[in-house]
Amino acid sequence: MKNLEKLEQLYEGKAKKVYSTNVEGVVIVDYKDDATAFNGEKKGTILGKGVINNKMSNYIMKQLEETGVPTHLVEELSDRETAVKKVSIVPLEVIVRNVAAGSFSKRMGVEEGKELLRPIIEFSYKCDELNDPFINDDYALALGLATEEEIETIKSYTRKVNETLKAFFLNIGIKLIDFKIEFGRLADGTIILADEISPDTCRLWDVNTNEKLDKDRFRRDLGGTEEAYQEVMRRIFGK
Ligand code: TMP
Ligand code: ASP
């Protein structure tokens, strides 16, 4: 984007900073190497993560655009910075599960790695103070977190994202176990995909060995976190 200027910091999240710009409706996200887990209780650094998540997320969002899922992506500006459309985030963490793992396995007493008969879409209320509680559509509607129409749109985009991502990862020898995405509203109310898609927000297992290639290595102190992120990057970009 010609003449785009980074102005002041609007927000600092756990993994990214957001800056205003001189262009109406456009902000800049700046990806950090900071990693947290368990709602910020565990803190650390994953060296090089910001660069990997920035590039990978942008690459994936471009592919999703081609399948008809609108995204916030405007333009990658540098290794860690991307210009994106300014949205107000719908306060729902939209989680898709193809294979049992994580909080689903715990809650349901189902062994990690068990294939689900069909994909699950679930919602959490995006609220750190409450620890992002699990909710259903009725909670979201009754609390006015989203309208019925928005929820339908979100679910329909989410199904498409899952199909595209599953094929994308399989093609590079990775099983997409589950992932979390977030949507935002443009000024006119249009729903678009926002936030990021990266090893921070997906569970990615090697298709042959089931080796974890995602943030669970950090969450669970498995070691080799940086190497796992680099491996995903290498499989996508060949370097
Ligand atoms: P969960 O099994 O812990 O509920 O996680 C499901 C998926 O969502 C997993 O791919 C990791 C991702 N996730 C996030 O991106 N952010 C979060 O805060 C949490 C809890 C999970
Ligand atoms: N969002 C979680 C945290 O804040 C991180 C995670 O488990 O992915 O700490």
pLDDT at 232: 98
Question: Whole-angstrom Cα distance, residue 185 to residue 47?
Answer: 32
Question: Whole-angstrom Cα distance, residue 146 to residue 153?
Answer: 11
Residue 178 lies in a domain: yes
Question: Does pLDDT of 2 surpass 90?
Answer: no
Q: How confident is the prediction for the chain on average, in pLDDT? A: 98
pLDDT digits (tens, 9 = 90+) for 203-221: 999 999 999 999 999 999 9
Q: 10 Å Cβ neighbour count for 8?
A: 7
User: Residue 43's domain spans which residues?
Assistant: 6-85
CATH number, residue 72? 3.30.200.20
Considering the domain architecture, whether residues 120 and 199 belong to the same structural domain is answered as: yes
Pocket test for ligand 2, best of 39, 129, 196 (most atoms within 8 A of CB): 39
Our answer on whether the CB atom of 14 is closer than 6 Å to any ligand 2 atom is: yes
Question: Whole-angstrom Cα distance, residue 232 to residue 174?
Answer: 9
Percentage of the chain exceeding pLDDT 70: 100
Domain count, the chain: 2
Considering the domain architecture, whether residues 73 and 104 belong to the same structural domain is answered as: no
pLDDT digits (tens, 9 = 90+) for 163-203: 999 999 999 999 999 999 999 999 999 999 999 999 999 99
Please state the rounded mean pLDDT for residues 133-152: 98
Question: Any idea what DSSP says for residue 90?
Answer: P
CA-based Rg of the chain, rounded to a whole angstrom? 17
DSSP H/E element including 16: strand 16-21
| Contact status, residue 82 vs residue 170, Cβ threshold 8 Å | no
Nearest alpha carbon, ligand 2 atom 6:
37
Question: Whole-angstrom Cα distance, residue 109 to residue 238?
Answer: 38
Please state the rounded mean pLDDT for residues 133-148: 98
| Contact status, residue 162 vs residue 202, Cβ threshold 8 Å | no
Our answer on whether the CB atom of 131 is closer than 6 Å to any ligand 2 atom is: no
Q: Among 32, 61, 85, give the residue marking a domain's end.
A: 85
Question: Does pLDDT of 239 surpass 80?
Answer: no
Considering the domain architecture, whether residues 68 and 98 belong to the same structural domain is answered as: no
**Dihedral Cα 212, 43, 237, 235, nearest 10 deg:** -10
pLDDT at 1: 84
Question: Any idea what DSSP says for residue 212?
Answer: B
pLDDT at 16: 98
Nearest alpha carbon, ligand 2 atom 8:
37
Considering the domain architecture, whether residues 107 and 213 belong to the same structural domain is answered as: yes
Q: Which atom of ligand 1 is nearest to the CA of 102?
A: 2
pLDDT digits (tens, 9 = 90+) for 5-59: 999 999 999 999 999 999 999 999 999 999 999 999 999 999 999 999 999 999 9
